[in-house]
Structure 1
């Protein structure tokens, strides 16, 4: 089983396929390395594609120390995956929790990024909803810690922001929910309490985001209510940002609308690699 050993001794399972410009995919809280299969199959035709399960997500290690789950640590894991595979620069594609991490990679390690994608980003960030978001994080962590993983996964998969996915694609949604039920309850609880709850909000990152220099594509479904305001905030704040809103689409954009999602990424990758991402603003 291919794995990267991080500097703090955690083994991260990864998979890769294809050759060409590297693309690294960073999954959401409810996902794992398998989440990106529609992208791995499509982009491997012209790119070297890497996906991995983050710490706390089987078959990667599940540390039991809460201090080993933080936004800085998850960002460092991305860099160490790149280092372990001998990759200097890559397109870094993140979804939801992974989108926050991808943004932090772009902020702190811009030289390692050809571009950044922040899909379904913004959950828990809106200032007016912050207190409620903190309480929800605590409730979700308690559910994953105390309930059988199958019961916790069943409930979490059916949060309102995924209703569109279940209605449009019951087969795909069932696969997503089944994979979620194979996660570690402990890893999920520790991730929610120590990454999701404690990471800086987008609004707290405003000053830093105004200096963001890497080509950024923000993608959100119009049925993904918790992430709409955050996605608009990124578009209005980050000087290199473009925004794609997918109609009739919920939170699980990578699997719910893979064709539209892949088309948007293809345009970003081509423009970023050719140096034409900001051509309309540079007058060229």
Structure 2
């Protein structure tokens, strides 16, 4: 399906016959990353797989304002309105988790349950936020100078994704192909517009969330385990699940365990 929101075309796929579940992928990904869960979740969820702006088959506009995370959350509201969906469960991985949390903070009445995989509420201290924004600018400049394939080669080599080396070759190749389908302009503008250094920090507002929240991290991803642990002290209705022998991309590295954890949470058998 295609939805045009204020001149930007979004690509959306659906599967399943249950409560609407919007799934948001990470940076360099696409909605295709969630397709393996269609069969497992079909009885309790209608899985709505969105290509975030600048990714996959969605448009990559030149206007940087369109990529601000609050504006992308607003686009998502308009997509749900077009689908005539009032309230959803929301699942987000990494960048998609930051978008999911932003959506839940801005439109709490539209969220029943929230699943955050390897995600952060942002950066608390302005100085550290500015440092991250400058790092994102350097990454964007790298993409501009070297192109998408060179950037993906670099991106796959950073310590955050070290655990992916243990994946079967077919899974590694599928993940790489998804990443390579993205375009230069979209990735650059996502880094500049909705990078962690550019988004608001939600740390001080987490206590306001009333929906049930599930946090998922891999035990080898120490940075995001520390973030998740800290989040548990701020959220009222939260559970945190740590997947063993797993890094940053839980839904790819340990898809069966991840799928079961999410399914039990969403179907109230948790």
> TM-score w.r.t. structure 2 length?
0.92
1:220 shift after superposition: 0.9
Partner of 1:110: 108
Deviation per residue, 1:180-231 (Å, 9 max, x gap): 1110111101100111131023xxx233111111110011112223322221
Is 1:70 aligned to 2:51, yes or no? no
Deviation per residue, 1:16-57 (Å, 9 max, x gap): 012121111011112111111222332124321110101111
Go from structure 1 to structure 2 and tell me whether the alpha carbon gap of 1:216 and 1:49 turns closer, same or farther (over 3 Å shift).
same
Partner of 1:281: none
Match of 1:31, SS state, is coil
Partner of 1:185: 184
How many Å separate the matches in 2 of 1:40 and 1:151? 32
How many Å separate the matches in 2 of 1:31 and 1:78? 17
Go from structure 1 to structure 2 and tell me whether the alpha carbon gap of 1:247 and 1:104 turns closer, same or farther (over 3 Å shift).
same
Q: Is the 8 A contact 1:216 1:240 kept in 2?
A: yes
Q: Is the 8 A contact 1:125 1:230 kept in 2?
A: no
Partner of 2:227: 230
Number of aligned residue pairs: 268
Within a 5 Å distance, the mapping from 1:187-202 to structure 2 comes to 187-196=186-195, 197-201=197-201
Task: Give unmatched runs, 5+ long, in structure 1.
Answer: 278-284
Is 1:206 aligned to 2:203, yes or no? yes
How many Å separate the matches in 2 of 1:140 and 1:225? 23
The farther-off stretch of 72-81 and 132-141 is 132-141
Match of 1:250, SS state, is coil
The farther-off stretch of 11-20 and 166-175 is 166-175
Partner of 1:56: 54
Partner of 2:45: 47
Within a 5 Å distance, the mapping from 1:134-153 to structure 2 comes to 134-153=133-152
1:254 shift after superposition: 1.3
* Moved segments of 4+, more than 6 Å: none
Partner of 1:25: 23
Go from structure 1 to structure 2 and tell me whether the alpha carbon gap of 1:122 and 1:207 turns closer, same or farther (over 3 Å shift).
closer
**Which of 236, 250, 261 is matched with 2:258 structurally?**
261
Partner of 2:213: 216
Partner of 2:249: 252
Go from structure 1 to structure 2 and tell me whether the alpha carbon gap of 1:248 and 1:131 turns closer, same or farther (over 3 Å shift).
farther
How many Å separate the matches in 1 of 2:203 and 2:54? 29
Go from structure 1 to structure 2 and tell me whether the alpha carbon gap of 1:245 and 1:79 turns closer, same or farther (over 3 Å shift).
same
Q: CA RMSD in A?
A: 2.0
How many Å separate the matches in 2 of 1:256 and 1:143? 27
**Which of 82, 85, 90 is matched with 1:84 structurally?**
82
The farther-off stretch of 21-30 and 122-131 is 122-131
Match of 1:59, SS state, is coil
Go from structure 1 to structure 2 and tell me whether the alpha carbon gap of 1:178 and 1:228 turns closer, same or farther (over 3 Å shift).
same
Match of 1:237, SS state, is coil
Q: Is the 8 A contact 1:96 1:119 kept in 2?
A: yes
